[in-house]
């Protein structure tokens, strides 16, 4: 083989290697651009999202606890934004705070708008979250509960006995005994009094729908309904009177 043919073969190999390297570099740059465009597109989609926010009605907190947005609200947004919002700091519980602390939705949206001014915020549910500062239970609390239970037991027993005395329950049961047995002999009416006493207790259990801590069915008892109404009224009162926005010296 002549020197000219060897030189042409070497040049051909060099040109093929150069073209292959350029083509590989072109494909790599194209793949990299596509990957960056996907990331940019995801970021633009997240920036165009709407933040949905729902405050919790009541949250129990401890002293010196740092409250973040995830502690008082449910947030729905993009994954990146959602993680940042969950760690959004709101306040720290200090000794100067009273037992109930109200966080208004206005303060929350104000902090979110500071981080994401281009996003839209949709709020659902209550406009205030009530934080209840938990306190340590006193060592005399069981004694206090026992004392209250004794007072209620004695009071209920006295009320039932006074009611029976006012309506002459003894005479009524004796009259029922004569009507049902047909005998006017002065005999004991325990066969009426014992079922009546048992029925009174069973009736109270059915009325309140509880046997100690066990519920008889899923329907709420009248006492639970009244407690629920009391909680609703208490939350409305706290949301208005403990809200900093409703105070004349509040700084919006």
Domain ranges of the chain: 1-48, 50-133, 141-241
Task: List pLDDT tens digits, range 186-232.
Answer: 777 888 888 988 998 888 888 888 777 777 788 888 888 899 999 88
> What's the confidence (pLDDT) of residue 74?
92
Q: Concatenated DSSP letters for 99-151?
A: SEEEEEHHHHHHHHHHH-TTSEEEEES-SEEEEEE--PPPTTHHHHHHHHHHH
Task: List pLDDT tens digits, range 74-119.
Answer: 998 888 888 888 989 988 888 888 888 889 999 899 988 888 888 8
Could you tell me which of 156, 172, 168, 252 has the C-alpha nearest to residue 204? 156
* Stretch 6-20: mean pLDDT: 57
- Return the structure tokens found at 171: 């005479």
Q: Are 207 and 200 in contact (CB under 8 A)?
A: no
6 pLDDT band, cuts 50/70/90, is low
What's the mean pLDDT when you consider all of the chain?
79
Q: Which CATH number fits domain 50-133: 3.40.50.620, 2.40.160.10, 2.60.480.10, 3.40.50.300?
A: 2.60.480.10
Tell whether the model's pLDDT for residue 137 goes beyond 90. no
What's the pTM value of the predicted model, to 2 decimals? 0.61
Tell whether the model's pLDDT for residue 19 goes beyond 80. no
Q: How far is CA 227 from CA 96, 143, 209, 223, 238, in A?
A: 29, 24, 14, 6, 16
């Amino acid at each position: 083989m002549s020197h000219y043919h060897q030189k042409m073969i070497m040049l051909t190999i060099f040109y093929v290697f150069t073209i292959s390297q350029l083509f590989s570099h072109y494909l790599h740059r194209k793949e990299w651009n596509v990957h960056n465009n996907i990331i940019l597109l995801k970021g633009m989609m997240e920036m165009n999202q709407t933040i949905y926010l729902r405050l919790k009605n009541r949250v129990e907190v401890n002293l010196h606890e740092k409250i973040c947005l995830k502690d008082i609200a449910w947030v729905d947004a993009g994954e990146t934004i959602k993680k940042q919002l969950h760690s959004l700091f709101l306040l720290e519980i200090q000794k100067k705070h009273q037992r109930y602390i109200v966080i208004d939705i206005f303060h929350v949206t104000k902090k979110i708008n500071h981080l994401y001014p281009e996003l839209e915020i949709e709020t659902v549910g209550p406009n205030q979250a009530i934080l209840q500062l938990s306190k340590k239970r006193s060592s005399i609390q069981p004694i206090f509960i026992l004392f209250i239970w004794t007072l209620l037991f004695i009071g209920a027993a006295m009320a039932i006995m006074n009611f029976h005395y006012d309506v002459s329950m003894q005479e009524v049961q004796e009259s029922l005994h004569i009507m049902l047995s047909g005998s006017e002999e002065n005999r004991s009416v325990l066969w009426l009094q014992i079922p009546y006493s048992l029925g009174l207790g069973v009736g109270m259990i059915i009325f309140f729908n509880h046997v100690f801590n066990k519920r008889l069915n899923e329907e709420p008892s009248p006492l639970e309904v009244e407690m629920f109404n009391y909680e609703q009224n208490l939350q409305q009162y706290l949301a208005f009177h403990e809200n900093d926005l409703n105070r004349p010296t509040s700084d919006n």
